[in-house]
């Protein structure tokens, strides 16, 4: 029985460290290769020894697919390919291929330079790893080998994020990675055609949330920034370098443009500048507005947003500053925060979630006095705002995608177990498909019944079609032919051709049958009587009386002979080929019933 | 009479052709080589199919007259039978279709042939084309029942074809020609009328998506033709909603909509439950579901259709805006709900804290329905869609639904306000317009107003002006709201001073709509103090004027308000009442002299007497036809004067009065020209006297062009009269030229041209000829055969007598007629500072103008720049430069590029607007010309222009280049 097996090495009932193994049609594919943000020990990377204890990974995996550049989806890639050892192809989209090494390098720097970890992958390893990458385009069908093919769909979420369809023969799996079903200021919404995969592996971060319209949040955000700037205050927006930061930049940039505002907007330099460059390049991956207007002006070539310099923080007058990192726990954003916190005209907007213990979390929970290092107490007079901009599909979005793809079954990953439970129940109830949510290391096995395509020669098809009415999609049709299985493909051909191809001689199979008739007349007369009898019965068949005294019905031969012992009995010899079995047996049964009495006075 | 006339016309027409052969000495105007013969020769010459195809393609470029169609068709059919190449046959078949569409040709003679060849045809493509031809024939002969039935029969026979193209065409044919009567009755010829609906319905489940689409389209076509579709189709259509192909889904959505409009009150069961709902509600739910379809084409379609489903119960309607929010399985309120609560609790604008939107109560997991919940949140999705086309469609639908339901309008307000922030300007603009349209139904809350006013700072002028229009008709609930609006508008004024007029107008309406809310604000706004006199504000400050406009308009219906004014306010009132009388109403100020006594509110304009007067004076003119020339002239002069004065006094009658006056003026000129005593003088003596007559002819021509193209609402019956007048003017011109020129050749050409004009007139207005009895043209057509054969001198003589005899035609007044007018707002032409630029380079001049009652301004309105050296330049503004702020009103905002060689002194150029016209556009187009490049050129060509705005002078100074 063919089957699809799925084993999450990471992201099973968990967020982070996405890594899912899929076996389909004898092929093994690894989906994503991420790290976990919560751990600093071995647990941060997936346990690749699950795949093989001592063999080379390359022999066990046909390919690796990376959905997007977030570290929880690609963070373990250099470790996996260079340190554990994998030489097969790694597939990702072009933007992911461009941005991924920047993030990996940043991650490496923090781990090695700041935390002083040993036994971590090196810059060279990142480069080597990226050499194994094969870039794919949207909707491009890539043949990994003769049987395995993959295809990328747009997923929204971040620049270059993609959903992948993995297909072997007629069996297929769709893996969504992270995706977003509502468009935002710089990216469009995820889309997939009705590909009807056997299995849909979807993320479920917001399995139990239905979100409000984005517009209110955007409007609130803009209004707050605008008011503060008009008052002459300064706005600090702590962000992570990639993803949301670009969305907020576009939002502010267009607003500034629309409202003719003059206050400067700054973006703290570093990593972001490089990334912005790629955003400028990959216009086709952005949303409708940016794609349509980039001929006049590329939206990512910011007019109002300039690079930030440390000295600008003390400048008088209003300004808006985007600074990293996003949780105000260190670095530039914290420095600026300290400078500005004392003035009630200023404002800090937290655009995302903050981990407990960070400054961001403290101020969000309403603390107005902060103890900084060196026993300093920082009094916060500036306004603190929280705005959540998240780019995952909510429960409705997930359901929408399931509805669009129409899978046979669904598998949930990348979410909390409790929330998945709810969504699982909903999916089973509303789509009536089976739904799975395996934990890490747990294997789901899905029996499939793949359809086997059989080729048919046009001549045969036309011949068989000519015999009946038009083919009706709802009714099966009977068709005579020979099935040839050769070199693992199947063909249906006419029997003559099959014989010719296989070099076999044709054998004829004939049935003969004797029927005894009580008839005292001569053979010829009996034959004539049989002829007239059959002629009257079988109106739509060709009945002939041959000169040698035999009667043929189509290709069936009937001969009358005198019985050697009993002259009052005639023996009818009926002979037919295998192909005419139906008609032949019908004829014999007819003849066995006897002939109708001869017309009186006929002779 | 009409039939008789027609017959006569045709007789003469044929005569024309015959006489061509008889008189060979005369240059003939119609020399038509036989089309069919030429084609026949060409096709016989063709050696290969490619050749033949070329000939056919060439042939198709030229039009074919109705009388030669039949011959051409025969030739084509003949070749069709001989032809082996399917591509040539295909072309022939398509030509047959085109030919059968020719006006004046009855295609029933080729139908038998077409059906015949259809039966022997093997190629699927040719078959499809032939069916298309049959469709063309069938639509042409839509009255003939028997033919229709035959064609339907043919279509049914080919429905089982294996090619999707053929099936498509068959279905199309059925949709267009299928009988609308109930089945069962037998026709005289024994052909049973087929139940087309059932036959088409069977193809809803065809294996080819294109055929499925065609089947749905055919069904829709049946509906359009007036057949009542069965309700059973509804279920079939619902199944098609989950089709794999977007065209099918898109068509199915339409079909569902149609059925829901036909049977809104039927009851349908809800699957998997025992409940039942109205069909229209069910359909609404289904279409709402399609708003989140995978294909944006379907989404647009669905969103658009939602707007027109007005019978939906309010319960379902309101669901579309409701998206049950939850976070972590706990119920959450939307930002809108929170804003409302915040506002109603009296606490306005509080700094929000983290966790303010924290989810409240737990949600019952079983009760949450993530999909299939009918209408739930359809608009929330639609407004958030990725494609702006969908968003616009959703906004439009919202608008239409809100106009029919005030409770829905109230609910959708928040969503519309959100759309003000869309990233695409078009969507923002659309939502502002929508809001304006529904503003009668709603009252703005303060927080909503706040958001709306935020958009006033938008850098796009369109957005700001749309917003001003919105504020004009918005209802504000509190005095703080009014104050807020005023403050924001003043802010807008300082940021964009060009918005001055628009803002003043906006404040005028704001004031007059909310007098009681303005009242408590007056002391603050005028900064008066109970004890101290405050400084007198600057009268020229636009912001101060803006405040005054608001207050004065409020004071109009609030008599207590003037008591709060200080002395200088009254002075300013008097000044503004004079200078900006359209913005400042007349106030009754107690204890003071009425500043403007001229307009007293008691005298309301009486429409009837003036209209009556107009009618009477016109009737007087028309009835007095046979008065002595002197009397007629005088009467005409008086009437024209009366009409002009009437037009000035009564703005609503201005269009009619001007229009009639122009016509009378033409008549007057004509009479005057004909009354010249010198007509009888011998030609040589006449020479110097001809000025008056030829000038009159020229002026009449101009007037007629103005009458035809400068008035909106002119109907065909007026156009005939106008053209008739022009024809007379042309005749006059011809006579005058005949008298003044010696050369026969020139005259000959003119004569011929004139006769062509007559011919053209006849062809265009053949239907109206019966109304023109005893007129100039009527007599002219009577004498047409004689005119054609006679010499120019004779023609002139005949024309002269006929002109004198012709009667004065009665001009029927159109229902609604308005004269096109334009005002250039910018450049204002007041500046003394010349616009300096380097010679040879260009300078852009912003032109802003309002156009009233201009039809199709995109193609007709041009800008003319007249340089001091007499050089004139015509600029065609882009279609996108025109905006349509209201019915009959347009606004042109464009840039005109000026350039010239160096001047020594700054000088003024004139800028004005022209109305371009082309009278040839009335010629009915033949089907051959559709989409041809020749016709496109003909349409854009300009025959002449009429200036219709006051010229504005702009001071410019091209400097010599510095080296």
Flag whether residue B192 sits within 8 Å of chain A, measured between CB atoms.
no
Residue contact B424–A217, C-beta within 8 A: no
Distance CA B305, CA B307 (A): 5
Distance CA B854, CA B813 (A): 19
- In 3D, which of B239, B251, B104 has the Cα closest to residue B172? B251
- What's the start-to-end Cα distance of chain B, in Å? 80
Mutating which of B204, B320, B348, B371 best tests the A interface, going by the most A Cβ atoms within 10 A?
Answer: B371
Chain A residues close to B353, C-beta within 8 Å: 366, 384, 386
DSSP per position, A260-297? T--S-EEE--SHHHHHHHHHHH-GGGS-HHHHHHTTT-
Nearest chain A Cα distance for residue B166, angstroms: 15
Instruction: Decide which of B134 and A210 is more confident.
Output: B134
Closest in B326, B380, B386 to A189, CB measured? B386
Flag whether residue B451 sits within 8 Å of chain A, measured between CB atoms.
yes
Flag whether residue B418 sits within 8 Å of chain A, measured between CB atoms.
yes
C-alpha A341, offset from chain centre: 48
Specify the pLDDT at position B17: 40
- In 3D, which of B84, B80, B81 has the Cα closest to residue B94? B80
The model's confidence at residue A33, banded by pLDDT at 50, 70 and 90, is very high
The model's confidence at residue B32, banded by pLDDT at 50, 70 and 90, is very low
**Total Cβ atoms within 10 A of residue A36:** 23
Residue contact A210–B460, C-beta within 8 A: no
Chain A residues close to B370, C-beta within 8 Å: 210, 395-396, 399, 426, 430
Residue contact A208–B328, C-beta within 8 A: yes
Domains B40-271 and B820-924+941-959 share a fold: no
Chain B residues close to A425, C-beta within 8 Å: 365
- In 3D, which of B259, B491, B656, B427 has the Cα closest to residue A226? B491
B209-238 pLDDT tens trace: 999 999 999 999 999 988 888 888 898 899
Flag whether residue B487 sits within 8 Å of chain A, measured between CB atoms.
no
Distance CA A67, CA A33 (A): 9
Closest in B162, B384, B457 to A260, CB measured? B457
- In 3D, which of A391, A239, A218 has the Cα closest to residue A320? A239
| Nearest chain A alpha carbon to B338 | A216
Nearest chain A Cα distance for residue B102, angstroms: 39
Residue B350 has pLDDT above 50, yes or no: no
Closest in B244, B294, B335 to A212, CB measured? B335
C-alpha R_g of chain B: 36
Residue B594 has pLDDT above 70, yes or no: no
H helix and E strand count, chain A: 17, 30
Residue contact B419–A215, C-beta within 8 A: yes
Q: Which of A331-345, A346-360, A513-527 has the highest mean pLDDT?
A: A331-345
Distance CA B138, CA B897 (A): 54
CB A34 within 8 A of CB A75: yes
Flag whether residue B386 sits within 8 Å of chain A, measured between CB atoms.
yes
- In 3D, which of A149, A196, A156 has the Cα closest to residue A176? A156
Distance CA B336, CA B333 (A): 8
Chain B residues close to A366, C-beta within 8 Å: 353-354
Residue contact B329–A419, C-beta within 8 A: yes
- Residue A560 has which token pair? 């009358």
- In 3D, which of B56, B60, B120 has the Cα closest to residue B88? B56
| Nearest chain A alpha carbon to B418 | A215
Q: How many beta-carbon pairs under 8 angstroms link A with B? A: 123
Nearest chain B Cα distance for residue A424, angstroms: 12
Specify the pLDDT at position B359: 52
In residues, how long is chain A? Answer: 603
Residue contact A395–B370, C-beta within 8 A: yes
Residue contact B383–A350, C-beta within 8 A: no
To 10 degrees, the CA torsion angle through B64, B70, B76, B82?
-170
Instruction: Decide which of B865 and B63 is more confident.
Output: B865
DSSP state of B363: P
Q: What average pLDDT does range B537-550 have in this prediction?
A: 88
Count CA atoms within 13 Å of residue B468 on its CB side: 23
Nearest chain B Cα distance for residue A309, angstroms: 30
Phi-psi region of B143 (alpha: psi -120 to 50; beta: other; left: phi over 0): alpha
- Residue B828 has which token pair? 């204002």
Residue contact B368–A182, C-beta within 8 A: no
Distance CA A432, CA A402 (A): 11
| Nearest chain A alpha carbon to B389 | A288
Cα–Cα distances in angstroms (integers) from residue A307 to residues A241, A270, A276, A298, in the given order: 13, 9, 12, 18
Residue contact A185–B324, C-beta within 8 A: no
Cα–Cα distances in angstroms (integers) from residue A394 to residues A203, B275, B370, in the given order: 10, 30, 10
Mutating which of A204, A215, A384 best tests the B interface, going by the most B Cβ atoms within 10 A?
Answer: A215
Flag whether residue B365 sits within 8 Å of chain A, measured between CB atoms.
yes
Distance CA A153, CA A180 (A): 12
- What's the CATH code, domain B820-924+941-959? 2.60.40.10
- Residue A403 has which token pair? 């509805």
Catalytic residues of A: 203
Residue with tokens 């007056």: B522
Distance CA B835, CA B639 (A): 47
Residue contact A384–B354, C-beta within 8 A: yes
Query: Quick one: angle between helices B716-740 and B744-764, nearest 10?
Result: 170
CB B663 within 8 A of CB B644: no
Specify the pLDDT at position B935: 40
Chain A neighbours among B 257-276 (CB < 8 Å)? none
Q: What average pLDDT does range A325-342 have in this prediction?
A: 83
Where do the structural domains in chain B lie, given as residue ranges?
40-271, 272-329+372-438, 443-588, 609-805, 820-924+941-959
Q: What average pLDDT does range B239-250 have in this prediction?
A: 91
Cα–Cα distances in angstroms (integers) from residue B329 to residues A180, A398, B182, in the given order: 20, 15, 56
CB B277 within 8 A of CB B266: no
Specify the pLDDT at position A446: 92
Flag whether residue B349 sits within 8 Å of chain A, measured between CB atoms.
no
Residue B576 has pLDDT above 70, yes or no: yes
Residue B686 has pLDDT above 60, yes or no: no
Distance CA B133, CA B127 (A): 10
Distance CA B887, CA B852 (A): 9
H helix and E strand count, chain B: 41, 16
pTM of the model: 0.75
Residue B417 has pLDDT above 60, yes or no: yes
Distance CA B553, CA B585 (A): 6
Specify the pLDDT at position B933: 41
Nearest chain A Cα distance for residue B351, angstroms: 8
Residue contact A210–B292, C-beta within 8 A: no
- In 3D, which of A389, A432, A188 has the Cα closest to residue B272? A432
Q: What average pLDDT does range B764-793 have in this prediction?
A: 76
Q: A267 forms bridges with which residues in the sheet?
A: A307, A322
Sign of the CA dihedral with B939 first, then B942, B946, and B948 last: positive
Chain A residues close to B351, C-beta within 8 Å: 383, 385
| Nearest chain A alpha carbon to B368 | A426
CB A319 within 8 A of CB A263: yes
What domains can you pick out in chain A, each with its CATH number? 3-210+391-440 (3.60.15.10), 214-386 (3.40.50.10890), 452-466+479-507 (no CATH), 510-593 (3.30.310)
Q: Which CATH number fits domain B40-271: 1.10.287.3510, 1.25.10.10, 2.40.340.10, 1.10.600.10?
A: 1.25.10.10
Mutating which of A291, A403, A468 best tests the B interface, going by the most B Cβ atoms within 10 A?
Answer: A403
- Residue B500 has which token pair? 């001055």
Residue A143 has pLDDT above 90, yes or no: yes
Residue contact B370–A399, C-beta within 8 A: yes
Residue A132 has pLDDT above 60, yes or no: yes
Distance CA B910, CA B872 (A): 9
Q: A577 forms bridges with which residues in the sheet?
A: A510
Residue contact A208–B329, C-beta within 8 A: yes
Specify the pLDDT at position B590: 59
Distance CA B723, CA B708 (A): 8
Mean pLDDT over each residue of chain B, to the nearest integer: 78
Distance CA B722, CA B707 (A): 7
CB B173 within 8 A of CB B136: no
Percent composition of chain B: helix, strand, coil (DSSP 3-state, to 5):
60, 10, 30
- Residue B958 has which token pair? 């091209």
Distance CA B307, CA B288 (A): 11
Helices (H), A304-411: 331-340, 359-364, 395-405
- Give the least confident one: B4-18, B100-114, B793-807: B4-18
Chain A residues close to B388, C-beta within 8 Å: 288-289
- In 3D, which of B32, B63, B16 has the Cα closest to residue B755? B16
**Strand A482-486 and strand A489-493: pairing?**
antiparallel
Distance CA A258, CA A185 (A): 15
Residue contact B328–A182, C-beta within 8 A: no
Chain A residues close to B495, C-beta within 8 Å: 260
CB A32 within 8 A of CB A74: yes
A364-382 pLDDT tens trace: 888 888 887 777 888 888 8
Distance CA A171, CA A193 (A): 16
Residue contact A366–B160, C-beta within 8 A: no
Three-point CA angle A404, A406, A412, nearest 5°: 95
Is the ipTM here above 0.90? no
Domain covering B272-329+372-438 assigned CATH 1.25.10.10 in the classification: yes
Closest in A219, A289, A385 to B423, CB measured? A289
Nearest chain B Cα distance for residue A178, angstroms: 18
Nearest chain A Cα distance for residue B955, angstroms: 30
Distance CA B322, CA B319 (A): 5
Chain A residues close to B384, C-beta within 8 Å: 182-183, 213-215
- Give the least confident one: B258-262, B455-459, B921-925: B921-925
Chain A residues close to B387, C-beta within 8 Å: 288
Distance CA B724, CA B809 (A): 9
B296-342 pLDDT tens trace: 999 999 999 998 888 888 888 887 777 666 666 566 666 666 666 65
In residues, how long is chain B? Answer: 963
- In 3D, which of A184, A414, A207, A179 has the Cα closest to residue B326? A207
Instruction: Decide which of A354 and B682 is more confident.
Output: A354
Closest in A193, A258, A396 to B370, CB measured? A396
**Strand A234-238 and strand A199-203: pairing?**
unpaired
């Amino acid at each position: 029985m063919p089957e699809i097996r799925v084993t999450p090495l990471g992201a099973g009932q968990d967020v982070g460290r996405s890594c899912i193994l899929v076996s389909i049609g004898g092929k093994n594919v690894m989906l994503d290769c991420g790290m976990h943000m919560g751990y600093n020990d071995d647990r941060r990377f997936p346990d690749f020894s699950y795949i093989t204890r001592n063999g080379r990974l390359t022999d066990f995996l046909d390919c690796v697919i990376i959905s997007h550049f977030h570290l929880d989806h690609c963070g373990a890639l250099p470790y996996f390919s260079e340190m554990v050892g994998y030489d097969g192809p790694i597939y990702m989209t072009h933007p992911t291929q461009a941005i991924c090494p920047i993030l990996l390098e940043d991650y490496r720097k923090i781990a090695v330079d700041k935390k002083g970890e040993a036994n971590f992958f090196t810059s060279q390893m990142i480069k080597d790893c990226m050499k194994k990458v094969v870039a794919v385009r949207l909707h491009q069908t890539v043949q990994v080998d003769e049987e395995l093919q993959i295809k990328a769909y747009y997923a929204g979420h971040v620049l270059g994020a993609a959903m992948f369809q993995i297909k072997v023969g007629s069996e297929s799996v769709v893996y969504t990675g992270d995706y977003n079903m509502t468009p935002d200021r710089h990216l469009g919404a995820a889309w997939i055609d009705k590909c009807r995969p056997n299995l849909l592996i979807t993320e479920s971060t917001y399995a139990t949330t239905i979100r409000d319209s984005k517009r209110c949040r955007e409007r609130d955000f803009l209004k707050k920034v605008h008011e503060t700037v008009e008052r002459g205050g300064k706005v600090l927006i702590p962000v992570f370098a990639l993803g949301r930061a670009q969305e907020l930049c576009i939002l502010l940039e267009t607003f500034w443009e629309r409202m003719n505002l003059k206050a400067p907007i700054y973006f703290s330099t570093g990593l972001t500048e490089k990334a912005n460059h790629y955003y400028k390049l990959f216009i086709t991956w952005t949303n409708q507005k940016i794609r349509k207007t980039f001929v006049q002006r590329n939206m990512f070539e910011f007019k109002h947003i300039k690079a930030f310099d440390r000295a600008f923080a003390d400048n008088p007058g209003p300004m808006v500053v985007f600074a990293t990192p996003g949780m105000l726990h260190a670095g530039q954003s914290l420095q600026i925060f300290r400078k500005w916190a004392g003035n009630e005209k200023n404002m800090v907007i937290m655009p995302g979630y903050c981990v407990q213990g960070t400054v961001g979390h403290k101020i969000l929970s309403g603390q107005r006095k902060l103890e900084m290092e060196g026993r300093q107490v920082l009094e916060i007079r500036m306004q603190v705002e929280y705005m959540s901009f998240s780019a995952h599909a909510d429960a409705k979005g997930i359901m929408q995608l399931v509805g669009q793809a129409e899978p046979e079954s669904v598998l949930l990953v990348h979410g909390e177990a409790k929330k998945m439970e709810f969504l699982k129940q909903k999916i089973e109830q509303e789509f009536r498909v089976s739904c799975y949510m395996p934990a890490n290391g747990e294997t789901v096995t899905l029996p499939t019944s793949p359809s086997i395509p059989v080729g048919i020669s046009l001549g045969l098809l036309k011949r068989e079609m000519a015999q009946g009415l038009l083919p009706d999609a709802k009714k099966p049709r009977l068709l005579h032919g020979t099935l040839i299985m050769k070199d693992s493909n199947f063909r249906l051909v006419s029997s003559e051709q099959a014989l010719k191809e296989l070099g076999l001689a044709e054998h004829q199979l004939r049935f003969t049958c004797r029927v005894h008739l009580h008839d005292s007349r001569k053979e010829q007369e009996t034959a004539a009587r049989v002829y007239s009898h059959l002629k009257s019965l079988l109106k739509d068949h060709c009945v002939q009386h041959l000169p040698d005294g035999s009667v043929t019905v189509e290709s069936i031969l009937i001969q009358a002979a005198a019985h050697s012992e009993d002259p009052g009995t005639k023996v009818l010899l009926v002979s037919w080929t295998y192909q005419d079995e139906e008609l032949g047996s019908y004829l014999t049964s007819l003849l066995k019933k006897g002939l109708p009495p001869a017309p009186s006075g006929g002779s | 009479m009409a039939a008789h006339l027609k017959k006569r016309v045709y007789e003469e027409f044929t005569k024309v052709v015959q006489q061509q052969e008889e008189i060979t000495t005369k240059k003939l105007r119609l020399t038509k080589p036989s089309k069919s013969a030429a084609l026949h020769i060409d096709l016989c010459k063709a050696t290969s199919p490619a050749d033949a195809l070329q000939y056919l393609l060439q042939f198709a470029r030229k039009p074919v007259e109705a009388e030669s169609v039949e011959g051409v068709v025969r030739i084509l059919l003949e070749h069709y039978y001989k032809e082996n190449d399917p591509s040539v046959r295909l072309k022939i078949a398509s030509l047959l279709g085109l030919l059968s569409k020719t006006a004046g040709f009855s295609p029933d003679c080729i139908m038998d042939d077409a059906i015949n060849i259809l039966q022997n045809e093997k190629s699927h493509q040719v078959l499809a084309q032939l069916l298309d031809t049959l469709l063309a024939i069938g639509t042409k002969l839509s009255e003939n029942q028997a033919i229709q039935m035959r064609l339907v029969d043919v279509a049914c026979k080919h429905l089982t074809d294996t090619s999707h193209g053929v099936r498509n065409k068959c279905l199309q044919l059925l949709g267009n020609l299928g009988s609308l009567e109930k089945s069962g009755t037998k026709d005289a010829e024994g052909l049973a009328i087929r139940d087309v609906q059932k036959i088409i319905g069977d193809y809803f489940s065809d294996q080819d998506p294109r055929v499925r689409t065609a089947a749905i389209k055919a069904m829709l076509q049946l509906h359009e033709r007036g057949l009542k579709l069965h309700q059973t189709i509804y279920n079939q259509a619902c199944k098609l909603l989950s089709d794999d192909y977007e065209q099918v889904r898109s068509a199915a959505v339409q079909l569902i909509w149609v059925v829901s409009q036909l049977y809104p009150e039927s009851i349908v069961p809800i699957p998997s439950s025992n409940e039942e709902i109205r069909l229209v509600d069910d359909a609404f739910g289904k279409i709402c579901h399609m708003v989140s379809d995978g294909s944006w084409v379907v989404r647009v379609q669905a969103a658009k259709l939602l707007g027109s489903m007005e019978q939906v119960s309010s319960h379902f309607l309101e669901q579309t805006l409701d998206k049950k929010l939850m976070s972590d399985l706990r119920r959450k309120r939307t930002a809108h709900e929170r804003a409302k609560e915040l506002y109603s609790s009296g606490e306005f604008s509080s700094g929000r804290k983290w966790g303010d939107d924290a989810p409240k109560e737990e949600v019952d997991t079983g009760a949450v329905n993530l999909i299939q919940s009918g209408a739930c949140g359809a608009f929330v999705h639609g407004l958030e869609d990725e494609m702006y086309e969908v968003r616009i469609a959703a906004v439009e639908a919202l608008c239409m639904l809100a106009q029919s339901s005030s409770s829905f309008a109230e609910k959708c307000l928040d969503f519309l306000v959100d759309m003000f922030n869309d990233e695409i300007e078009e969507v923002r603009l659309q939502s502002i317009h929508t809001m304006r349209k529904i503003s009668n139904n709603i009252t703005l809350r303060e927080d909503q107003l706040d958001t709306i006013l935020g958009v006033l700072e938008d850098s796009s002028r369109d957005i700001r002006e749309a917003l001003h229009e919105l504020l004009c008709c918005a209802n504000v609930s509190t005095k703080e709201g009014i104050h807020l609006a005023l403050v924001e508008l003043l802010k807008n004024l300082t940021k964009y001073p060009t918005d001055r007029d628009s803002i003043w107008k906006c404040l005028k309406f704001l004031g007059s709509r909310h007098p009681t809310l303005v009242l408590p604000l007056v002391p603050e706004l005028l900064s008066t103090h109970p004890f101290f006199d405050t400084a007198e504000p600057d009268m020229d400050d636009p912001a101060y004027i803006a405040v005054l406009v608001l207050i004065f308009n409020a004071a109009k219906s609030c008599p207590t308000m003037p008591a709060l004014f200080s002395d200088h306010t009254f002075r300013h009132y008097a000044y503004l009442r004079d200078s900006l009388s359209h913005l400042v109403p007349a106030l009754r100020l107690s204890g003071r002299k009425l500043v403007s006594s001229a307009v007293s509110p008691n005298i309301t304009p009486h429409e009837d007497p003036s209209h009556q007067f107009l009618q009477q004076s016109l009737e007087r003119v028309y009835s007095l036809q046979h008065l002595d020339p002197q009397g007629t002239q005088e009467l005409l002069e008086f009437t024209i004067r009366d009409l002009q004065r009437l037009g000035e006094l009564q703005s609503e009658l201005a269009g009619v009065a001007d229009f009639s006056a122009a016509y009378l003026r033409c008549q007057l000129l004509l009479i005057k020209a004909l009354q010249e005593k010198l007509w009888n003088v011998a030609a040589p003596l006449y020479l110097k006297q001809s000025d008056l007559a030829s000038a009159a002819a020229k002026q009449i021509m101009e007037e007629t062009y103005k009458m035809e193209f400068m008035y909106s609402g002119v109907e065909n019956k007026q156009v005939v009269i106008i053209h008739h007048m022009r024809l007379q003017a042309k005749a006059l011109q011809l006579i005058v030229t005949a008298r003044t020129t010696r050369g026969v050749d020139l005259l000959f050409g003119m004569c011929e041209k004139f006769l062509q004009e007559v011919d053209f007139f006849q062809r265009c207005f053949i239907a109206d000829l019966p109304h023109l009895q005893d007129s100039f043209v009527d007599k002219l057509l009577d004498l047409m055969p004689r005119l054609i054969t006679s010499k120019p001198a004779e023609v002139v003589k005949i024309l002269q007598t006929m002109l004198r005899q012709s009667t004065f035609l009665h001009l029927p007044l159109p229902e609604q007629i308005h004269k096109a007018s334009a005002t250039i707002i910018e450049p204002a032409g007041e500046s003394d500072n010349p616009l300096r630029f380097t010679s040879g380079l260009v300078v852009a001049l912003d032109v802003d103008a309002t156009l009233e009652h201009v039809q199709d301004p995109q193609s007709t309105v041009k800008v003319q720049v007249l340089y001091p050296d007499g050089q004139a330049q015509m600029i065609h503004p882009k279609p996108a430069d025109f905006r349509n702020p209201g019915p009959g009103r347009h606004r042109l905002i464009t840039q005109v590029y000026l350039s010239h060689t160096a001047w020594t002194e700054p000088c003024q150029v004139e800028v004005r607007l022209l109305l371009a016209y082309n009278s040839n556009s009335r010629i009915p187009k033949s089907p051959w010309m559709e989409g041809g490049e020749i016709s496109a050129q003909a349409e854009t060509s300009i025959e002449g222009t009429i200036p219709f705005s006051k010229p504005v002078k702009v001071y410019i100074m091209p400097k010599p280049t510095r080296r």
